[in-house]
Chain A
Amino acid sequence: MVPLRFIGALLGGAILASAVANHAVAETVNVYSYRQPFLIEPMLDAFTKKTGIEVKVVFAKNGVIERLKAEGVNSPADVLLTVDIGRLNDAIESDVVQPVKSAVLAARIPASFRDPDNRWFGLTSRARIIYASKDRVKPGEITSYEQLADPMWKGRICTRGGKHVYNVALFAAMIAHHGEAKAEAWLRGVKANLARKPQGNDRAQVKAIHEGECDLAIGNNYYYGNMLDTAEQKPWADSVNLVFPTIGGGKGTHVNLAGVALAKAAPNRANGIKLMEFLAGDEAQSLYAERNYEYPVNPAVAWSKKVESWGHFIPDDLSLAAIAELRGDAIRMVDRVDYDG
């Protein structure tokens, strides 16, 4: 019965191989990450250097939560690193994370940047700003997100896809401030002003300004630093001014969050918490600031000088939970407006 025997042998071999692999456990902490390895490597390397704990990473942009869910109690993951409150919220709703009671984390992270129930913790915040052409937009010509719908910008705005988490969070914030009807009218206005169909990522929008395709773009602020660091992209960055726009008639700029959570199964729980505390500590926070140009949540850690030189802003005081709650509405609004079409 050759075919069946063949399958049996294959399965047996696989089981054996993985059993062997599973038993090589030293002091480790396992991380599932939505963020690219090259972005988080400096912090993780510093952690290993300091504690001797080896950090193992799986990076994926989709399916991390589904993987945690399926793996259940036997999941090897300890720590979940992600961007955007929406994904942190998804993790909580899927019941794949656990609360962490840590005086260290509580001391290092202001209350507004962590879950009241201690299930997620913010690590850095990032401002979603407007990039404006140096040549074609006068300073002060645009100061708020609301103005993006002004017909004076017709054919002059570029953005990435409307359903990207960063845009969804911004649109959700607009709904929170203005109500759904007004926010939808605003989004229609923005769509009418688009120079081209939404495409590419945040950097690509700045590039489009550099190339003269549009004059305004929405993007996260740290990309500015990343572009300055990349020879090829420096001219793009050099062609724009940074505008920290206000939202909802207030003084604050919309920010989004990169955060961390402890996986529910967490076989190396203690090491996982150590890593979380380390990431909120001075060394990692200043690495986030200096290397990735994000804003550290730990108030004891200063902004990077470079980031500071781009301008100051006050974060919008809308709660992250309110934004997370309106995400679904924001996405449906994007579909109704046919923003990406």
Chain B
Amino acid sequence: MAEADATAGGIASLTVDDTTAASSGRRRWHVAATLVAALVLLPLASITWTALFPTENIWPHLVSTVLPGYIVTTLLLMIGVGIGTFVIGTTTAWLIAMCRFPGRRVFEWALLLPMAIPAYVIAYVYTDVLEYAGPVQSLLREIFGWQTARDYWFPEIRSLGGAIAMMTLVLYPYVYALARATFLEQSVCVLEVSRTLGCGAWRAFRDVALPLGRPAIAVGVTLALMECLNDFGTVDYFAVRTLTAGVFDVWYGMGNPGGAAQIAGVMLIFVVLLIWAERRSRRRQRFHHTSTKLQPIDGIRLKGRKAALATLACLLPVLLGFVLPAAVLAAYAFGHSDARWSSDFWGFAGNSLGLATATALVTVAVATLLAYAARQRASALVRACIRLSGIGYAVPGAVLAIGVLIPFATFDNGLDALLRETLGVSSGLLLSGTVAALIFAYTVRFLAVSLGAVESGLGRITPSMEMAARSLGHSPLATLKRVHLPLMRGSLLTGGLLVFVDTMKELPATLVLRPFDFDTLATYVYQFASDELLEACAPAALMIVLAGVVPVLLLNKVVGGARTVVRRR
């Protein structure tokens, strides 16, 4: 463990191996983590099984026809969204964290808002606005006197470029949230030192803050990319043929779940490569803050043109990613005769909120268990299990649902058969088709989100803290409780809230796994939106957005509060 990007002296310390005696406490953590990871990996295993033994092998057909196209399109989409979310996310995060300019206080939280809008909803809205019959093109035709679509060129929203734009607009907040948190948590001394060493503001950002913030930013971009890989609603609506669209083509159109699982396998390879590349590129670097000198950053006061530019840079993402789509939805909901208002919404909203809360709690607990166990000198195998357990995030929700369905139903039917034989009673389906199955599926799906947040929070706590605690006689659990959890409260909340918002928006797995007569806001919106009846479901879509805004604002408090918490210490 030699090299570290120790840009300015004494901030980035090297990891030193924990030399305290291995205890049985540690082993228990490993066992528990492995068990949980195995449980989480179960659906993925059943998908793999489906892929390896399809009913009809259409792999050769896929390879010779559509698969290469799927892969290229997916790569382009990921590159586009990756660059887009990185640029918008880190730029705005840096401006908000380090500079003072008009509107900063509002943008600080407003920049998170687009996260509350599901990608498929923003796609529907923008298509309505930008297509031929929409207000923008109609206005242009009126102004310039054009008659038909052939008289002028207008960018086609239903395209790869359109999909990149839509997804960037709603996914950049992942990068923004994590980047801003990491910029705020960086000791101000680092930046002070870099400035005294002659770095300009730009160089301090590029050479010091960005490399130091890299783990968190990488997590943000990876999350955004996995989310984009997983998206079905937008690419389906825009007829952009990505691997996910291919999964549905093969499964839904050809009735071949095995072939669908095979394509999903290709997607998993993408994700594994993505994660591996990111980790490999910084495998020898560890950053722990050893200085507790965290003064409030005064911020560079921007003036004149610079201030205007900063304001604009923060205004645009908020305007395009939230204000405009929310306004269009509101206009439909309140001003359109086709809008459907119903008292059932309260029930749907209750279901959505309940599921999201439960999932957030479970997911954060599981992530903490896994991440903390990995820290207890875990073996390569345990570490690999933990690493893999986040992979569910990249599996299309509907495919994952099938992966959950199979082991759950097998367990239920097995237990039922056993009870019938031994006790003569039937237990029926205990877990399948219940909320428990749904929460489990969400946990598998969103574990990567909370795991990322928890790991980056844990990673910032220097191992010498726990060495101290352990040498003072604390067990790993007591150390976690008394040292780590209080220190990483912000990260835990961040992880939980991100999962909460994601669960609110989740659609495909919910559709397949939910109990009878059980609707969430998302499933309700979908039945209309899938039939191009956006006006009808606008009220419910607006409620998803509003319900997402609250946790997003909370998230802002948590991230912004990180500094104050530390300072008070």
Contact = CB atoms under 8 A, between A and B. Distances in A.
A19 B427 contact: yes
Contacts of A204: 532
Nearest to B239: A199
B430 A19 contact: yes
Interface stretch (B7-15, B167-175, B319-327, B397-405): B397-405
Contacts of B248: 62
Given A21-B434, A199-B239, A331-B254, A212 B149 contact: yes
Interface in A1-30: 1-4, 6-7, 10, 14-15, 17-19, 21-22, 30
Contacts of B535: 230, 232
A265 to B, nearest CB: 10
B532 A201 contact: yes
A18 B430 contact: yes
A14 B411 CA distance: 14
A305 B539 CA distance: 33
B343 interface: no
Which DSSP category, helix, strand, loop or mixed, fits chain A's interface? helix
Given A62-B398, A62-B508, A207-B133, A14 B28 contact: no
Given A4-B35, A335-B65, A63 B531 contact: no
Nearest to A58: B516
A58 B433 CA distance: 10
Contacts of A331: 253-254
B515 A21 contact: yes
Contacts of A21: 434, 515
A7 to B, nearest CB: 7
B512 A70 contact: no
Interface in A30-80: 30, 36-38, 56-64, 66-67, 70-76
B564 interface: no
Which DSSP category, helix, strand, loop or mixed, fits chain B's interface? helix
Given A74-B429, A338-B65, A211 B511 contact: no
A336 interface: yes
A201 B529 CA distance: 11
Contacts of B35: 4, 7
Interface string A167-196: 010000000000000000000000000000
Interface string B396-416: 001001100110111011001
B57 interface: no
A103 interface: no
Interface string B26-40: 001101110110010
A255 B512 CA distance: 28
A230 B533 contact: yes
Contacts of A168: 253
Contacts of B180: none
A22 B429 CA distance: 8
Nearest to A35: B527
A204 B515 CA distance: 32
A207 B239 CA distance: 16
Contacts of B409: 70-72, 74
Nearest to B373: A3
A87 B410 CA distance: 24
Nearest to A208: B132
A84 to B, nearest CB: 11
10 contacts: A4-B35, A7-B39, A14-B431, A18-B429, A70-B410, A71-B413, A72-B409, A332-B65, A338-B66, A340-B241
Given A18-B435, A59-B523, 8 more contacts: A7-B36, A14-B439, A18-B430, A18-B436, A70-B408, A74-B409, A199-B158, A207-B532
Q: Which 9 A-B pairs have the closest CB atoms?
A: A14-B436, A199-B239, A163-B253, A3-B32, A63-B512, A56-B516, A70-B409, A335-B65, A18-B434
